[in-house]
Chain A
């Protein structure tokens, strides 16, 4: 267990300080239409050398959370409260200069679309070398050497030639490798990978994920792997956090969640995932409805408008009362433990095949 489990609403400090600790994180954006609560009271911990998967639909607050960890939100439009501690250092409210020294150095991020995320105007080598030069004070020549070294490490053929190429001259997979090389150039202790494989075809996807694992072993980095694809986390992550409408709705080890999911939303995610073993003619079961508006989230459990089990909960607690996320392995749902067990085993699991 790498994830400390406690209630969302009343986080309790853990014994020994974890490497990354997020406590009661709120991220609110002011827009013309009102306040968007993109992240609404999120807490989690992560230790060195471990991988935390964060899954959820688009707009569930996965990326916003991680941009908040790096402090990349525009302070003019985003209001961030709560605590983010990295290796004992408080990040929320830290000065921009302090964050600059950490970014790309102690913590780094791999973005989803490497074509958009790499500057088209500078060579790959230069973009990889830049954070190295900045954070280590290396010379330009050393920076270039380091870039070649990193390109070799991520498996780019002829790195001493490709180092002078521009991103558009790379293939999609190579670009993603270059992104990873850039993120890892300073051996970051925390690596956030935001859907690093979504844009890639399946074989490349696997290579990239392997690469991440190898590198993790070499550097002992902690990784946050953001994805909407449970298949990706299944092989890679140690722990899992399921997010919905800006909140964590379920947490546990990967194994626990994939084999014994407790939250109807997690069930929905699993059901909508194609399996190799399933009949190609069999329809997938997407979650009905659309993710809620974060401008005006539903009362009570935010998932209730899309949840097929509201009737099973007595009274109106689903619509009026927000279910807490209990300590440890837990799910934020009003169904009792027995119901969760029964419904999954009897109704959901058979469909997963």
Chain B
């Protein structure tokens, strides 16, 4: 286990370094000058030069990269004030400390993704297993075709429709919003209910199909037949023996889907005006806000990598044949 963690952490660091370097240098390869945005409408070469200096953009790109990366570990000093580690600098666009912004916004994205993952894992696995249980029946066919239709849906298409139906026209639910769970757990839940459902729809459909086929495959496994031969009830066989095995492909896909989930959360945040990391990353890219782009990118990548390690560790929990090394 320790070896596994050490090996994966080293791998993660390499990946993060590559991502940071790639993002940083790609940013400077783009034709857009971040200083233009801060230059207001009185821009000229001389005004730009002043801003370049303010932003530290007057230095060679590798030097800037070095300062940026070093700042993450040692902190830096800026005109706006000292920036303790982990320092991602100050936003070019808003002048906020990037780390503070990320910390401020992350709970929203976390709530959104965890909630949506809970919804699509629960609903997807439940319907998929039910379809497998009732394989070949009308219910199975209904689920299968519904999941096909739903998986071709887009968040930005369903979002406004759901809003119109449930919020604007009927007032059944309130405007989606984020309230910290620590302040008001019920408000947190109600405010995110619609975003969770909308974000989870495409995933739910996918997991329904996956759970169904994984279950059907598992039910044909010999050891499942053995369990029946031992006199285990159909439910025990289904939920204890077959289910456990069907989790493995699902966990694998779930690990792969984390990036997609974050991408979906981005669109969901924009659709429902939830100011999470997704909204922040889109804003910062549009504003050519390098420190924020880098910060969000590295933070999200770290998080996804971390989660992937957890997912891989979960294999060992599910399947005792897997040994982490």
A contact residues vs B (CB 8 Å cutoff) = 70, 72, 76, 96, 100-105, 108-109, 111, 113, 116-121, 127, 130-131, 134-135, 166, 168, 182
Contacts of B225 in A (CB 8 A): 72, 111, 117
Contacts of A100 in B (CB 8 A): 231-234
The verdict on B297 contacting chain A, using a C-beta distance below 8 Å, is no
In the bound complex, CA of A127 to CA of B227 (Å) = 8
Smallest CB gap from A168: residue in B: B321
Question: Given A116-B223, A120-B320, A121-B320: A134 and B229 within 8 A (CB)?
Answer: no
Question: Given A111-B222, A111-B226: A120 and B321 within 8 A (CB)?
Answer: yes
Please tell me if the beta carbons of B223 and A119 are within 8 angstroms of each other in the complex: yes
Q: List 25 A-B contacts (CB under 8 A).
A: A70-B229, A72-B228, A72-B229, A76-B135, A100-B234, A101-B231, A103-B228, A103-B230, A103-B231, A104-B229, A108-B229, A109-B226, A111-B226, A116-B222, A117-B222, A117-B226, A119-B224, A119-B241, A119-B244, A120-B223, A120-B321, A127-B230, A130-B232, A135-B231, A166-B321
Question: Given A116-B222, A117-B223, A121-B245: A168 and B231 within 8 A (CB)?
Answer: no
Smallest CB gap from B137: residue in A: A76
B residues 274-325 with Cβ under 8 Å of A?
Answer: 318-321
The verdict on B40 contacting chain A, using a C-beta distance below 8 Å, is no
Quote the shortest CB–CB distance from B276 to chain A (angstroms): 37
In the complex, given contacts A76-B136, A134-B230, what are 20 additional A-B residue pairs having Cβ atoms less than 8 angstroms apart?
Answer: A70-B229, A72-B225, A72-B228, A100-B231, A103-B228, A103-B229, A103-B230, A103-B231, A109-B229, A111-B226, A119-B227, A119-B241, A120-B319, A127-B230, A131-B231, A134-B232, A135-B231, A168-B320, A168-B321, A182-B226
Smallest CB gap from B320: residue in A: A166
B contact residues vs A (CB 8 Å cutoff) = 135-136, 221-234, 241, 244-245, 318-321
* Nearest 6 pairs of A and B residues by beta carbon: A104-B231, A103-B231, A104-B230, A116-B222, A131-B230, A119-B223
- Residue among A96, A103, A113, A168 having the largest count of chain B Cβ atoms under 10 Å: A103
Quote the shortest CB–CB distance from B205 to chain A (angstroms): 25
Smallest CB gap from B135: residue in A: A76
Contacts of A130 in B (CB 8 A): 230, 232
- Residue among A103, A121, A130, A131 having the largest count of chain B Cβ atoms under 10 Å: A121
In the bound complex, CA of A166 to CA of B232 (Å) = 19
Quote the shortest CB–CB distance from B196 to chain A (angstroms): 31
Please tell me if the beta carbons of B221 and A116 are within 8 angstroms of each other in the complex: yes
In the bound complex, CA of A111 to CA of B223 (Å) = 9
In the bound complex, CA of A127 to CA of B236 (Å) = 13
Contacts of A113 in B (CB 8 A): 222
Smallest CB gap from A169: residue in B: B320
Contacts of A121 in B (CB 8 A): 241, 244-245, 318-320
Quote the shortest CB–CB distance from B17 to chain A (angstroms): 38
In the bound complex, CA of A102 to CA of B321 (Å) = 32
Smallest CB gap from B243: residue in A: A121
Please tell me if the beta carbons of B226 and A118 are within 8 angstroms of each other in the complex: yes
Quote the shortest CB–CB distance from A302 to chain B (angstroms): 28
Contacts of B232 in A (CB 8 A): 100, 104, 130-131, 134
In the bound complex, CA of A119 to CA of B241 (Å) = 7
Quote the shortest CB–CB distance from B315 to chain A (angstroms): 12
Contacts of B318 in A (CB 8 A): 121
In the bound complex, CA of A131 to CA of B232 (Å) = 7
Contacts of B241 in A (CB 8 A): 119, 121
Contacts of A111 in B (CB 8 A): 222, 225-226, 229
Contacts of A70 in B (CB 8 A): 229
Contacts of A119 in B (CB 8 A): 223-224, 226-227, 241, 244-245
Contacts of A105 in B (CB 8 A): 231
State which of B228, B230, B245, B321 has its C-beta within 8 Å of the C-beta of A182: B230
Contacts of B224 in A (CB 8 A): 119
In the bound complex, CA of A288 to CA of B49 (Å) = 92
Smallest CB gap from B318: residue in A: A121
Contacts of A96 in B (CB 8 A): 234
Smallest CB gap from B241: residue in A: A119
- Residue among A100, A109, A111, A134 having the largest count of chain B Cβ atoms under 10 Å: A100
Contacts of B229 in A (CB 8 A): 70, 72, 103-104, 108-109, 111
Contacts of B231 in A (CB 8 A): 100-105, 131, 134-135
Quote the shortest CB–CB distance from B293 to chain A (angstroms): 44
Contacts of A134 in B (CB 8 A): 230-232
In the bound complex, CA of A120 to CA of B227 (Å) = 12
Smallest CB gap from A113: residue in B: B222
In the bound complex, CA of A184 to CA of B222 (Å) = 19
Contacts of B228 in A (CB 8 A): 72, 103
Contacts of B222 in A (CB 8 A): 111, 113, 116-117
Contacts of B244 in A (CB 8 A): 119, 121
Contacts of B233 in A (CB 8 A): 100
Smallest CB gap from A109: residue in B: B229
Quote the shortest CB–CB distance from A221 to chain B (angstroms): 15
In the bound complex, CA of A117 to CA of B321 (Å) = 15
Quote the shortest CB–CB distance from A172 to chain B (angstroms): 15
Quote the shortest CB–CB distance from B140 to chain A (angstroms): 12
- Residue among B230, B245, B319 having the largest count of chain A Cβ atoms under 10 Å: B230
Smallest CB gap from B245: residue in A: A121
Contacts of B223 in A (CB 8 A): 116-120
- Residue among B222, B223, B229, B234 having the largest count of chain A Cβ atoms under 10 Å: B229
Quote the shortest CB–CB distance from A208 to chain B (angstroms): 17
Smallest CB gap from B220: residue in A: A74
Quote the shortest CB–CB distance from A197 to chain B (angstroms): 17
